[in-house]
Amino acid sequence: MAGGTFSRTAHFVLHRAALDASAAPAGPGSKRPQALFAVQDQPWVGAVVPKRWARRAVTRNGIRRQVYALSAEFAPRLPAAAHVVRLRSEFARAQFPSAWSLPLKAAVRAELLQLFERAAVRPPVVAAPVDGVGGQP
């Protein structure tokens, strides 16, 4: 989380830290800096769901599953970096009395979609061929 806040929604925060490509894995007695991860060409995603904000284990596990499922969908569009999704406030128990109801699943998924959309790298826009130029005659 030292990388700083990258995007934020009402309940979630996404932290991103660049993977240090110059730091190679070092041995225990080495003075070289150690790389954060051995493979540095793909995004890494973690989830922090504190008991303070999600009291029930069913809720915490459901949120984690949603984070990992959406991160897998967005993996091709995420930069090669370490990402941590952190739950930063509670979903109101008055609004969602069940530990993992369909409305709660939908609310969590909607916020996580917003979070990952903001973090995703936009693919380059390819211009459509103009009549007679670059297209089929």
| DSSP track, 58-97 | HHHHHHHHHHHHHHHHHGGGS-SEEEEEEE-SPPPTTT--
126 in any annotated domain: no
Beta bridge partner(s), residue 8: 13
pLDDT for residue 37: 56
> How many domains in the chain?
1
pLDDT for residue 27: 54
Read off the pLDDT of residues 56-91 as tens digits, 9 standing for 90 and up.
Answer: 999 999 999 999 999 999 999 988 888 999 999 999
132 in any annotated domain: no
pLDDT for residue 101: 94
pTM: 0.74
Question: Which stretches in the chain have pLDDT values below 50?
Answer: 23-25
Show the domain range for 72: 5-19+40-119
pLDDT for residue 18: 81
pLDDT for residue 89: 95
35 in any annotated domain: no
